């Protein structure tokens, strides 16, 4: 129920802001707006503000909205009101009305990011976990436990990292742009110890999938190798493990953090006989209440995306150390604008790479994934939900600015043609372009929906 409510609230806010952008600029340009609707189909609620000519409504299908303006191309217009019609307005006014919707979504994202920056958010400290074996991070000499103080792409000025999320964002940008990332590592006293270079340029755009951070080798922040909640009748309970146990060694491997502990357990699925569900017990050395103990632990084998994975049925790794990231009024607003710009550019780059085949179409997401993430972010707290809402708002704004005929960007493309040639697009060409745009959009929606179902079923 929370997922459904969060999804509907997300759609309602984003659609309302988008359509209000069109409406507000239309009114400012002296255009008569006949109807403002959130959703399609039969109206559930309809009202009119005092002294206004616009009917406001909420439709039955909440998957969009529209602003209907007085327009001679849609219905006859009283000559006395012709100056209020959309089609009679100068080019700059029509373009402003069309662009206002996507820009409203981008401005909403700036505000949402700013609110999060002002209120402060708890984020993991930028302390590195053990790198994935054979990854770029391991090849660069990282071992885990390093504190990342600053980071910069080659040729850029070093910037202080406030949290692990700052690092994750830079890793994503570097991987998609093919830029190496310089990291300045330090100790608890704040002194810089060494500098390493992550060769992200070795990654290809096709690597930008769900396994991206495993290929880089930096999956999450450092956590203590502690056993958390143990599920009933699990391998962990059968082996005698209890919440609070600190794992020191598994076989001949010294365990230094939660990430390494998880990787060592997972790797047991590759041991002889594991493919038939038969695994040898592991000898674990633990500390319980400060006292050393030895246990025989036999993980259980399960299938994850058709790959055998070993599990013990317990939460592995203590929660990471958190820091509060908060900005002042101007800095928070500026950082909100910067993050909105960076996410917009990253979205366009990713779309471009998918179009030319350099990135997988599996990265497209649809309403099911959005609903899933809306519910998950809502359970994590209002700041997580606001960040999610900002991200989707940016995506909606950028998507609508694409030069597809059925989108706002397509109409801006028509106006660009009109500005260059001095005449509008002919009705015949308009019809062809609209049909082509609908076909492309339906294709994108089909792929996104297929990916949604594949993620949920998988």
Residues tagged active-site: 19
> From CA 454, how far away is CA 380, in angstroms rounded?
25
What does the angle CA 128 – CA 140 – CA 255 come to, to the nearest 5 degrees? 45
SS3 at position 345: helix
Q: What b-and-e string marks burial along 90-108, b requiring 16 or more CB atoms within 10 Å of the CB? A: eeebbbbbbbbbbbbbbbb
Q: What letter does residue 324 receive in the DSSP assignment? A: E
> From CA 16, how far away is CA 36, in angstroms rounded?
9
> From CA 71, how far away is CA 34, in angstroms rounded?
10
> From CA 260, how far away is CA 239, in angstroms rounded?
20
What does the angle CA 96 – CA 101 – CA 105 come to, to the nearest 5 degrees? 130
> From CA 129, how far away is CA 124, in angstroms rounded?
12
SS3 at position 1: coil
CA-closest candidate to residue 91, choices 452, 456, 447, 411: 411
Asked whether the beta carbons of 312 and 299 are under 8 A apart, the reply is yes
51: left (phi over 0), alpha (psi -120 to 50) or beta: left
Q: What is the residue-wise DSSP string for 101-161?
A: HHHHHHHHHHHHHHHHHHH-EEEE-SBBPPPPTTSHHHHTT--S--EEEEEEETTSPPEE-
**386, containing H or E segment:** helix 382-400
Query: What's the start-to-end Cα distance of the chain, in Å?
Result: 22
The DSSP bridge pattern shows strands 147-153 and 121-124 to be: unpaired
Q: What b-and-e string marks burial along 343-374, b requiring 16 or more CB atoms within 10 Å of the CB? A: bbebbebbbebbeeeebbeebbbbebbbbbbb
Q: Which residues pair with 151 in a beta bridge?
A: 159, 183
> From CA 184, how far away is CA 161, in angstroms rounded?
10
């Amino acid at each position: 129920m929370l997922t459904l409510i969060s999804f509907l609230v997300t759609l309602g806010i984003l659609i309302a802001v988008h359509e209000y952008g069109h409406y507000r600029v239309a009114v400012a340009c002296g255009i008569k707006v006949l109807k403002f609707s959130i959703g399609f189909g039969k109206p559930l609620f309809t009202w009119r503000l005092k002294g206004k000519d616009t009917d406001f409504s909420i439709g039955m299908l909440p998957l969009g909205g529209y602003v209907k303006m007085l327009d001679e191309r849609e219905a006859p217009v009283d000559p006395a009101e012709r100056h209020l019609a959309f089609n009679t307005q100068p080019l700059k006014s029509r373009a402003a009305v069309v662009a206002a919707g996507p820009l409203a979504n981008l401005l909403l994202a700036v505000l949402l990011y700013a609110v999060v920056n002002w209120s402060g958010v708890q984020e993991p400290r930028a302390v590195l976990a053990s790198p994935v074996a054979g990854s770029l991070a391991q090849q660069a000499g990282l071992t885990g436990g390093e504190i990342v103080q600053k980071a910069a792409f080659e040729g850029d000025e070093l910037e202080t990292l406030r949290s692990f999320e700052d690092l994750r964002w830079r890793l994503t940008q570097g991987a998609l742009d093919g830029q190496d990332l310089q990291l300045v590592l330090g100790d608890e006293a704040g002194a810089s110890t060494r500098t390493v270079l992550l060769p992200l340029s070795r990654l290809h755009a096709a690597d930008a999938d769900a396994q991206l951070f495993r290929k880089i080798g930096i999956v999450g922040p450092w956590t203590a190798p502690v056993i958390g909640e143990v599920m009933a009748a699990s391998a962990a309970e059968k082996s005698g493990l209890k919440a609070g146990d600190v794992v020191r060694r598994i076989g001949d491997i010294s365990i230094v953090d939660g990430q390494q502990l998880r990787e060592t357990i997972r790797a047991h699925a590759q041991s002889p006989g594991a493919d038939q569900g038969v695994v040898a017990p592991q000898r674990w050395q633990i500390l319980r209440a400060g006292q050393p103990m030895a246990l025989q632990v036999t993980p259980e084998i399960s299938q994850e995306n058709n790959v055998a994975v070993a599990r013990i049925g317990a939460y592995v790794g203590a929660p990471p150390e958190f820091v509060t990231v908060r900005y002042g009024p101007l800095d928070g607003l500026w950082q909100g604008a910067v993050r909105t710009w960076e996410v917009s550019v990253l979205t366009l780059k990713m779309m471009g790479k998918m179009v030319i085949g350099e990135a997988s179409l599996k990265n497209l997401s649809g309403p099911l994934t959005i609903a899933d993430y809306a519910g998950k972010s809502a359970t994590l707290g209002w700041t997580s939900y606001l960040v999610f809402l900002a991200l989707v708002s940016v995506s909606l704004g950028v998507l609508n600015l694409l030069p597809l005929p059925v989108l706002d960007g397509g109409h801006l493309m028509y106006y660009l043609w009109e500005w260059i040639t001095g005449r509008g697009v002919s009705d015949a060409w308009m019809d062809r372009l609209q049909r082509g745009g609908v076909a492309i959009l339906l294709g994108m929606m089909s792929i996104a929906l297929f990916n949604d179902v594949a993620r949920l079923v998988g």
